[in-house]
Amino acid sequence: MSDSDKTQALIQLAGAVAHELNNIFTAVAGNLSLLDEHVEHGSAPKEMIGEVVRTAQRGIELSAKLQAFAGRQPLKRKLLDVNRVMFEVALDLRNDLREAVSVEFIPASRACPSFADEDKLRDTVVELAANAVAAMSGSGRLCIAVDARTLPTKNGFNLRSGAYIVVTVTDTGPGMKPEIAARALDPMFSTKASHFNAGWGLSNCAGFLRQSGGGMKIGSEPGRGTSIEIVLPEDPLATRAQPTGPRAGNRDVA
């Protein structure tokens, strides 16, 4: 079995488990909430019921994370210009980071239409930026570049050849060791202190991209920073004759 087949099997298993977990924990939380209405306020049983309900809610959250990784989360897709979206994300990051980290935006030379969930796309790039800033210890340079590209048959994303929009997020941080980069997209993998929400950010981003027909690839070396490419299919029916996104074709330092 190839690595690609193993990954696909893991994704299918995660989706199936997430569905069952959601059903179980939702039933538990719902029935306990009904029972809670008939228990005396301030009593020990009521406190116990509240604790179990909170635990069930954590289970529901976990199932949602698994569904996102498996590419089964609800999406609100629409036609958007990735150039415009990334320009706005870069401006927001500049305002948030101020002088600590310089943010550079390099748009494609034309509009980059894709049919995708705009909020999830924004969240994905913000997640990448947050990881980059943490790796740089709050000081360095972050670059967001957009490009329209035709991917060949062998492209490193496990995608069909064709037209895609590529967003590259590059930082000047310390980079990652090969064994860390190889596992960075795995669910529940984190180099930070272990806690309930650790290790889901990049895996959920990768799940969103897979669900949207795209993918993610990490390039990193110790001492040379990290460059992460995310790709979405280019919409073949959109008009691409003229740039429509803000500053399309013009290099901008946000």
What pairing do the DSSP bridges indicate for beta strands 77-81 and 226-233? unpaired
Give this prediction's pTM.
0.73
Distances (CA, A) of 34 to 28, 31, 56, 150: 10, 5, 14, 55
Taking the CB of residue 8, how many other CB atoms lie within 10 A of it?
14
Residue type, 231: V
3-state secondary structure of 121: helix
DSSP letter assigned to residue 182: H
- Each residue's pLDDT expressed in tens, for the chain with a length of 254 residues: 555 566 666 667 666 776 777 788 888 888 888 888 888 887 888 888 888 888 888 877 777 777 777 667 888 999 999 999 999 999 999 998 877 899 999 999 998 999 999 999 999 999 999 999 999 987 899 999 999 999 999 998 989 999 999 999 999 999 999 999 988 888 777 776 555 556 678 888 998 999 999 999 999 999 999 999 999 999 987 644 444 455 554 555 44
Cα distance between residue 108 and residue 88, in whole Å? 14
How is domain 77-253 classified at the CATH fold level?
Heat Shock Protein 90 (3.30.565)
User: Hey, what are 65's tokens?
Assistant: 């994370």
Phi–psi pair at 113, nearest 5 degrees? -80, 135
> Tokens 């590209």 correspond to what residue?
149
Domain range annotation of the chain: 3-69, 77-253
User: Hey, what are 25's tokens?
Assistant: 């924990």
Cα distance between residue 223 and residue 49, in whole Å? 51
DSSP letter assigned to residue 157: S
**pLDDT of amino acid 143:** 97
Cα angle 79-83-85, degrees, rounded to a multiple of 5: 70
What pairing do the DSSP bridges indicate for beta strands 162-171 and 215-220? unpaired
Residue type, 12: Q
User: Hey, what are 56's tokens?
Assistant: 């069930």
**pLDDT of amino acid 28:** 85
Size of the chain, expressed as the number of residues it contains: 254
**pLDDT of amino acid 5:** 63
